Structure 1
Amino acid sequence: MEKQTILVVDDTPANIDVLAGVLKADYHIKIAKNGEQALKIARAIPLDLILLDIMMPGIDGYEVCQELKADERTHHIPVIFVTAKISADDEIKGLNIGAADYITKPFNPPIVQRRVQTQLALTDQNRMLAIKVQQKTAEIAQNQLDVIRKLGRAAEYKDNETGMHVIRMSYYTHILALAAGINEADAEVLMHAAPMHDVGKIGVSDAILKKPGKLTAEEFDEMKHHCVIGAEILGDNDSPLLKIAQEVALTHHEKWDGTGYPNGLKGEEIPLYGRIVAVADVFDALTSERPYKKPWSVEEAVALLEREAGSHFEPKLVQLFVENIEQIVEIKAKFRDEG
């Protein structure tokens, strides 16, 4: 096992010699003779523990500890104060600014070793706990994502669309979201939420979903209700993924000019994620084969997007989609429908 690294900070060489002599057999020892030097070392190399004298010329140990704890690069390093004598008030002050423990002078080697061992063991435990929490959080997020995908698959079984459709349009939304200035993390959440856009079709009758011809006015009214059904299925939730999925399910059929459904939202009243999914969804629907239609060419689909920019779609998003058409075509080829 690799030795851990301890920084010993003291302006008295004799104190440094004693502490280094006690600890050097078990740890890598770094030395600083004042507060400024200690801060420089702590910010330059990984440290596992700092033994910090309180009374030093220049900036004292309290100030050094405060700076360490205020710096994102060093706030995690445990600090043990080293002092000749200390009052209860001084001890409380040190603990309040982030010190983990105290060692008093003159040094008792077994006590120094035990205090250092205890603090490093506690730090290791906290590190392992943090890793476990991160792993559990990632596991929960993955389980949630799996549920989202399974719900998306359930909607596909009700419709004529294929699993490749939701994969393609999800990647299209990711490309378009990044082009629109959305950061990578949020664009990825949107990509995972996008497959839920039509989950509300679970509540629409098969006779309407699979009808080969044109829908009647009554049938189209029922079809339009799938947006509301989808939002109800996803429900109000604290999860960013489910919140965006619900928003997309409800708004992806709204139109820029206000003639869409279910709420007739107009322009920027429509959430950005819903506007993005609208472009991606329509493009893929047009360029995909269905039992009731042949696929359009990419050129024909792009021409329709451009014609309906300002009416159905946000003009800027259409422009960005066209500017990234090479990436779109690559995704389309990579995830083409079987057969």
Structure 2
Amino acid sequence: MPPPAAHGRILVIDDDRPSLQLLDELIRMAGFAPPTLVSDPRELAAICAEREFDLVLIDLDLPHLSGWQVLELLAAQYGEHTPPLLVVSGDARRGNQVRALSAGASDYVTKPFDVGELLLRIRLHTAGHHSRRLLRSQKAELEATVQQRTRALRQSRLDILRMLGRAAEFRDNETGAHILRMSHASAMLARELGWDEEACELMLNASPLHDVGKIAIPDSILLKPGPLTPAERAIMQQHTVKGAAILNAPGAEANELLAMAAEIALHHHERWDGSGYPQGIAGAAIPLAARIVAVTDVLDALTSERPYKQAWPLERALDFIRAHSGSHFDPAVVAALERCLAEVLGLLRRLSDTATP
């Protein structure tokens, strides 16, 4: 049985009217949809731009464009999705058959042809092309499904990490607005320092977890209203190590977001001159992501009011960061802050504690 008509869109190219009529009748009688008939190959470009075919029958002896040029035109038009090209020619020379197959033809039938043989080849080629089309469609649907599920999985991971960050906020005196401000400001500085958009997005989503280790700090120390004793301060400083340990779960090394979040959590209290903690590393040995967060976290903390302190005026906070460029802070990060200062300050105003529900 021939394939259904919808699966047999056939194009016939032949300048001989009787041949066109004969092929038209044979194709219809075989149960296919009425074929598209073309006697002038100059019409092909417009026709092929509008529709796809499951099979093309081509006579090599054509006016205006040779059969060889038509083979090239069809291959250029359809590329990897070129339908089977079946040459039907009165030229039985072996050399032409080889040349046609080398030029992209799928098959070669000589005139006068055996009707049964020709129809069998038409059925085989149209069915094969239709099957390949279905496979491509199924592959595209599968890829779309995989992409959709990958996006959903990625979003669920982000949601979990954000909830983890919020859990740390609830244990501290920080506000959600602080996390928003410092994470967006960190992404701005990263962009100013030449990071690509993908890396900036990682920064945006990783930086809110910088203090997640505070989950493991006792309330008596974390929420103490007054100054900490040296022993208490040593325990508080362990939030960096504990945060990295939380984020460095088995398999986390394969996750770029967790890897960046872990290095920020561990190193955001390191100082450019090596006087920070927990490892006392200096300069470029401190991961750049942590050096960026060191600036944005301090800037927002200084300019924000907390139960245990008043907010600093903006200029005083900026003067502090400028004064400690090269000691506490990476000078290159401070310079980046200066270059995009208007943008960062606009962000701080938009996401101020009073402006955030």
Instruction: Classify the secondary structure of the residue corresponding to 1:172.
Output: helix
**Over the residues paired in the alignment, what is the CA RMSD in angstroms?**
4.3
1:15-164 equivalence runs, <5 A:
77-82=80-85, 105=109, 106=118, 108=120, 109-164=122-177
Structure 2 distance, partners of 1:200, 1:7, is 68
Aligned twin of 1:214: 227
- Please state how far the C-alpha of 1:324 moved relative to its aligned partner: 1.2
Please point out which of 198, 209, 212 is paired with 1:185.
Answer: 198
Rounded Cα–Cα distance in structure 1 between residues aligned with 2:37 and 2:183: 53
Instruction: Give the structure 2 partner of residue 251 of structure 1.
Output: 267
In structure 1, which of residues 154, 173, 176 is the aligned counterpart of residue 189 of structure 2?
176
Structure 1 gaps of 5+ residues are: 69-73
Aligned to 1:325: 341
Q: Residue 254 of structure 2: SS of its match in structure 1?
A: coil
Report deviation, 1:117: 2.5
| Equivalent residue letter for 2:245 | E
Question: How far apart are 1:269 and its partner, in Å?
Answer: 0.6
* Cα distance change on mapping 1:28 and 1:84 into 2, 3 Å: closer
The aligned amino acid for 1:223 is M
Normalization by structure 2: what TM-score? Answer: 0.72
Residue 83 of structure 1 and its aligned partner are, at CA, apart by: 5.6
What CA deviation, in whole Å up to 9, does each residue of 1:53-83 have, x standing for no partner? 9x9859x98xx98x99xxxxx98x4345536
| Contact residue 173 and residue 277 of structure 1 kept, 8 A | yes
C-alpha separation between the residues in 1 aligned to 2:324 and 2:36? 68
CA drift at 1:118: 2.0
Give the secondary structure class of the aligned counterpart of 1:182: coil
Aligned in 2, Cα 1:316/1:50: closer, same or farther, shift over 3 Å? farther
Q: How many angstroms apart in 2 are the aligned matches of 1:30 and 1:212? A: 88
Shift in Å at residue 113 of structure 1?
Answer: 3.5
Cα distance per residue 1:274-330 (max 9 Å; x no partner): 111111111111111111111112211111111111011111111111221221122
The equivalent position to 1:269 in structure 2, one of 272, 285, 293, is 285
Aligned 8 A contact 2:171 2:215 in 1: yes
The alignment's TM-score, normalised by the length of structure 1, stands at 0.75
Structure 2's unaligned 5+ residue stretches are 1-5, 61-66, 89-93, 110-117
Deviation at 1:103, TM superposition (A): 5.8
Distance 2:243 2:304 in 1: 23
The 1:126/1:211 distance shift into structure 2, 3 A limit, reads: same
Name the CA distance, whole Å, in 2 between partners of 1:227 and 1:30.
75
- 1:202 corresponds, among 215, 220, 223, to 215
Cα distance, 1:84–1:226 mapped onto 2, change above 3 Å: same
In the alignment, which of 327, 333, 346 is matched to residue 311 of structure 1? 327
Q: Give the aligned residue type for 2:167.
A: A
Contact 1:286 1:301 (C-alpha < 8 Å) held by counterparts: yes
Instruction: Give per-residue Cα distances to partners, 1:171-223, cap 9 Å, x unaligned.
Output: 00111010000001110111011110000001111111111222111111111
Aligned residues: 311
Distance 1:252 1:291 in 2: 23
Q: For the residues of structure 2 that align with 1:299 and 1:152, how far apart are their CA atoms?
A: 29
- Over alpha carbons, which structure has the higher Rg? 2
The change in CA–CA distance for 1:228 and 1:47 in structure 2 (over 3 A counts) is: farther
% identical aligned pairs: 35
**Offset at residue 84 of structure 1 (A):** 6.2
- CA distance in 1 between counterparts of 2:267 and 2:35 reads 60
